[in-house]
C-alpha cells in the first residue's frame, strides 16, 4: 500500500497539468491499486496473446491453485533495490519499487521476484566493490548471465541479500530459481517484460492506462 501511495503522489504531479484530477481519499488510492493490478494482469503470461497455449495454461493453473497473497507476484512481481539495502529485522523485507525502468539506476543492483523465479540485475555502472562483495567479480563484464547458485560471503551486503532471498523463499514455500544478468544479456528482454508500468509491446504504460480509463468514465 505504501508503494501505491507514493505512486499516487507521483501521478498527481504527472497528471496535474491535464484533465485528470487526483483525489486525496483512501478509496481513490485503493482504486489506483486495482487499476495497476488490472494493467498487470493484462500483461501477464496468462492473458497475453503472444504467449504459447501451454505457457498460458501453466500460468493459469499455478495462479488459481495458490492463495491470493502468493499469487500476487505472479501478476505484479516485486522489485527490490539491493545496492542500498537497509539493515533488516528478523521478519521484514525492504520496500519494493514500482515496476518501471525509470527506477533501474545504472549504478544499482536489483532483485525482481515473480513468485517462481528471481532475477538479479546488475546495472552497467555498478561499483566493483559491491560486485566483489556479492558475486566475487570485479567488473560488470565478468557477470555470467543465467541461472546460478547464490553464495554467502563474509560481508554485510552478501549476508543481507541472502537473508532477503531466503525470506522470499520461505514466503512462497518454494526454492525460487535465481538468474543473474546485466545490461545487454539475452535475459534482459524477459526482465524488462516485467516492468509493468512501462509502455511496451505488451501494452500501454500505467499513465496511459489511467488516461484511457478516465476517458471511458
pLDDT for residue 14 is more than 80: no
Helix locations, the chain, DSSP H: 2-15, 26-42, 53-64, 68-75, 128-135, 156-172, 188-193, 206-216
Which region, left, alpha or beta, applies to residue 203 given φ > 0 means left and ψ of -120 to 50 means alpha?
left
- List beta partners, residue 87: none
8 A C-beta contact, residue 3 and residue 173: no
Q: How far, in Å, are 101, 120, 144 from residue 148 at the CA level?
A: 24, 10, 9
In this predicted model, what pLDDT tens digit does every residue of 118-153 receive, in sequence order?
999 999 999 999 999 999 999 999 998 898 899 999
**Quick count: other Cβ atoms within 10 Å of Cβ 82?**
20
**CA–CA gap between residue 211 and residue 56 (Å, rounded):** 28
Distance spanning both ends of the chain, measured CA to CA = 25
What pTM was computed for the model? 0.80
Dihedral pair phi/psi, residue 90, rounded to 5°: -75, -15
Confidence at 91, pLDDT banded by 50, 70, 90 = low
* Architecture in CATH for domain 77-195: 3-Layer(aba) Sandwich (3.40)
The helices-and-strands tally (H runs, E runs) of the chain is 8, 5
> Could you state, in order of their start, the residue ranges of all structural domains in the chain?
1-72+199-217, 77-195
pLDDT for residue 18 is more than 70: no
Amino acid at each position: 500500500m505504501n508503494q501505491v501511495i507514493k505512486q499516487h503522489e507521483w501521478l498527481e504531479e504527472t497528471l496535474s497539468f491535464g484533465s485528470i484530477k487526483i483525489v486525496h481519499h483512501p478509496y481513490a488510492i485503493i482504486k489506483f491499486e486495482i487499476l495497476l493490478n488490472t494493467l498487470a494482469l493484462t500483461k501477464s503470461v496468462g492473458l497475453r496473446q503472444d504467449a504459447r497455449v501451454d505457457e498460458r495454461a501453466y500460468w493459469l493453473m499455478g495462479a488459481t491453485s495458490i492463495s491470493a497473497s502468493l499469487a500476487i507476484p505472479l501478476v505484479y512481481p516485486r522489485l527490490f533495490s539491493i545496492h542500498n539495502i537497509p539493515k533488516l529485522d528478523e521478519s521484514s523485507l525492504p520496500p519494493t519499487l514500482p515496476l518501471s525502468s525509470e527506477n533501474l539506476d545504472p549504478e544499482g543492483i536489483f532483485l525482481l521476484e515473480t513468485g517462481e523465479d528471481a532475477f538479479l540485475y546488475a546495472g552497467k555502472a555498478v561499483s566493483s566493490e559491491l560486485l566483489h562483495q556479492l558475486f566475487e567479480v570485479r567488473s560488470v563484464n565478468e557477470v555470467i548471465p543465467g541461472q546460478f547458485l547464490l553464495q554467502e560471503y563474509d560481508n554485510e551486503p552478501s549476508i543481507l541479500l541472502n537473508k532477503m532471498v531466503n525470506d522470499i523463499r520461505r514466503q512462497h514455500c518454494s526454492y525460487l530459481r535465481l538468474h543473474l544478468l546485466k545490461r545487454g544479456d539475452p535475459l534482459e528482454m524477459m526482465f524488462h517484460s516485467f516492468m509493468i508500468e512501462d509502455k511496451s509491446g505488451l501494452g500501454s504504460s500505467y499513465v496511459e492506462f489511467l488516461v484511457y480509463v478516465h476517458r471511458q468514465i
